[in-house]
Structure formats: structure tokens, C-alpha cells
């Protein structure tokens, strides 16, 4: 609450033409702050207080302003954490602000400029919190963040070339590195991995990147970024290889094989650490794998061979990679 009070005072003084004035409080036995703006008709003053102390704060600030010998309007910003019960002080100019919900619950007309200031501060606060949240995710899961960014950038490029985000032209996907057996046989073996960074449409990449974010951020913490990246890339290759061997006529793209590889690594971790995990974690992982495989088998447009190949690759590579240690997975 004190930090937000300071932020409000800073905003008023730096952008709204207020200056800060100290006065001594007999109640708190210390100096208190009041924001003052000189207008032609007198002083426009603002104090900030908690609902429990608003009467004391108002009375002391009122006495201080009266001692200046000028006309003034004293406005109170009252911070509350729940409901606000209005007392007998109806003649005062005040704004009631809930610091938990970041909402203005009530304001008198004289406080309308303060309401607009608080709305600006709230937007800045949300923006800063979002930036901190994004930076926090990047620090904790840098590889997952970079992989998502690479996939999205490549998708945007292919969408621009294809002139459609909904359905990427097959020829464009082939040009950019889709798994095509004929071309792999001609020596373009790099397609075994580039195909994992291509997607057929906006829904395809949205679902895959959401899955990668949910699973990848957890598995990256478990194995460390180097092993995690190795599992991702190895699973991409084994995904394409199984499709290459058993589905020679299928043109394949998508990160789902690599994501299944991450699920395989997650499953191995859960099997090794099932005694230390909360009940139901292992069962949930298996259920997610079975559900996604079922969806793949019931849809002719999904390369289920790629899912199985990626899962096998990720599961097998995680066996020598994992070093048993206690984790807390909620």
C-alpha cells in the first residue's frame, strides 16, 4: 500500500504539476506528505490514507492547509481492501480505491482528475507486471521461449509467402523444408528436422505452441536446458524418421513430434520419481499422451507416426539423461 501511495504521489508531481509538501502529524509523530497544486482560485490538495485512518488524516491535513491562509480544496484518496462503509463525513471530497481489485469504487466530482490519474497508473502497472511476467518466463525457460519464437517467426514468413494464415500452401511448406521422402532421397536430409519448425495453419501452430509452453517449461526445469534442447531436436528427427520409413507418401510438418518427445521425457521422469510426486501426476501424463494419440488416430490429417516416433525418441534419450532427484510437481 505504501509503495502504491508513493507511486501516486510521484505521478502527480512528475506529470500533473503538483509539488509535495510536508507537515507534522501529532497523531503519527512524524512528517506526512500532501500533494499541492496552485490554481488561480486557490489550492487543490491531495492526501492518501487508509480507510481506518481517513478521519485523522483529513483533519490534520485540513488544519495544515487552513494555516496557509489561502482558499483550498482538500481531496482524499482512500485505500480500502474490501467494502467501504461511508460515515457522516459526506461533505468531504474523496475517492475510494480498492487496492486489491485496482478499481475506483466511488469518487466525488472534484476527484474526477484523480480518477483519470489512477486509471493511467493502473495501465502502467499492468504493463510493467506483464513485462516482468514475460521476462520471468524467459529467464526460467529460455529454450522453450526461443523455440516458440522461432516457430512463430517461421510461421509468419510462410504465411506471408502463402498469403494466408489459415491454410499454408503445400508448395510453400515444401519449399521451406517439409518432410518429403522423394526430396530426402535426393539428399535433402535436413528436412528431417526443418519440417518440425513448419506448420500448416494458424490453428496448427497455436495448438502446438500452447502445448510446448505447458509441457516444455516444466521439462526444461527438470532436465536443464542443454539436455532439454537435445531431447527436443532428437525427437524432431525420430519423429520424421518413423514417418519417412512407414509413411513414405505423406508430406509432414509440425512441432508435435518434438512435443511428444518432451512428453516421453516427462513420462520417464514421472516413472522414476513417482514416489516423490503428488498422487495422480503420473496418471495425468499418461492420460494426456493417450488422448493426443487417440485424436491423431481418428483424424486423417494428423501424422500419428510422427507423434509415435517423437515420443519414442524423447523417452529413450531421457533414460541416460535423467539423474534422479526430488522434485515438487503440482
Residue numbers annotated as active site? 256, 307
Query: Grid coordinates representing 253?
Result: 510438418
DSSP state of 179: B
The H-or-E segment that residue 93 falls in is strand 93-98
**Strand pairing report for 103-107 and 93-98:** antiparallel
CA distance 300 to 298: 7
If you search the block for the grid coordinates 514417418, which residue do you land on? 243
Query: Grid coordinates representing 200?
Result: 500448416
Other Cβ atoms within 10 Å of 309 Cβ, number: 27
* Side-chain-side CA neighbours of residue 47 (13 Å): 29
CA distance 303 to 280: 29
Please write down the HEC assignment for all residues of 241-299. Answer: HHHHHHCCCCCECCCHHHHHHHHHHHHHHHHHCCCCCCCCHHHHHHHHHHHHHHHHHCC
CA distance 49 to 283: 52
Query: Grid coordinates representing 58?
Result: 483529513
Other Cβ atoms within 10 Å of 16 Cβ, number: 15
CA distance 223 to 321: 8
Secondary structure of residue 82 in the 3-state scheme: coil
Amino acid at each position: 500500500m505504501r509503495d502504491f501511495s508513493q507511486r501516486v504521489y510521484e505521478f502527480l508531481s512528475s506529470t500533473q504539476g503538483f509539488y509535495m509538501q510536508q507537515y507534522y502529524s501529532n497523531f503519527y509523530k512524524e512528517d506526512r506528505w500532501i500533494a499541492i497544486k496552485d490554481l488561480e482560485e486557490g489550492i487543490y490538495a491531495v492526501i492518501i490514507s487508509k480507510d481506518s485512518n481517513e478521519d485523522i488524516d483529513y483533519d490534520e491535513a485540513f488544519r495544515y492547509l487552513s494555516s496557509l491562509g489561502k482558499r483550498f480544496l482538500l481531496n482524499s484518496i482512500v485505500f480500502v481492501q474490501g467494502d467501504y462503509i461511508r460515515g457522516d463525513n459526506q461533505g468531504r471530497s474523496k475517492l475510494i480505491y480498492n487496492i486489491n481489485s485496482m478499481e475506483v469504487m466511488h469518487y466525488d466530482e472534484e476527484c474526477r482528475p484523480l480518477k483519470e490519474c489512477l486509471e493511467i497508473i493502473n495501465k502502467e502497472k499492468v504493463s510493467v507486471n506483464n513485462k516482468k511476467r514475460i521476462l520471468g518466463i524467459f529467464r526460467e525457460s529460455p529454450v522453450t521461449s526461443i523455440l516458440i519464437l522461432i516457430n512463430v517467426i517461421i510461421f509468419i514468413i510462410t504465411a506471408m509467402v502463402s498469403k494466408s494464415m489459415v491454410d499454408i500452401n503445400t508448395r510453400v511448406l515444401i519449399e521451406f523444408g517439409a518432410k518429403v521422402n522423394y526430396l530426402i532421397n535426393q539428399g535433402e536430409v535436413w528436412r528431417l528436422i526443418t519440417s518440425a519448425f513448419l506448420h500448416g495453419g494458424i490453428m496448427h501452430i497455436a495448438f502446438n505452441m500452447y502445448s510446448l509452453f505447458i509441457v516444455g517449461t516444466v521439462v526444461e526445469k527438470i532436465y536443464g536446458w542443454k539436455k532439454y534442447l537435445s531431447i527436443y531436436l532428437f525427437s524432431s528427427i525420430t519423429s520424421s524418421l518413423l514417418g519417412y520409413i512407414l509413411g513414405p507418401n505423406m508430406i509432414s510438418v509440425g512441432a508435435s513430434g518434438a512435443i511428444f518427445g518432451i512428453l516421453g521425457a516427462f513420462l520417464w521422469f514421472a516413472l522414476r520419481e513417482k514416489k516423490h510426486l503428488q498422487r495422480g501426476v503420473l496418471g495425468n501424463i499418461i492420460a494426456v499422451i493417450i488422448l493426443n494419440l487417440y485424436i491423431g488416430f481418428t483424424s486423417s490429417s494428423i501424422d500419428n507416426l510422427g507423434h509415435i516416433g517423437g515420443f519414442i525418441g524423447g523417452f529413450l534419450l531421457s533414460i541416460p539423461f535423467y539423474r534422479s532427484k526430488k522434485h515438487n510437481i503440482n
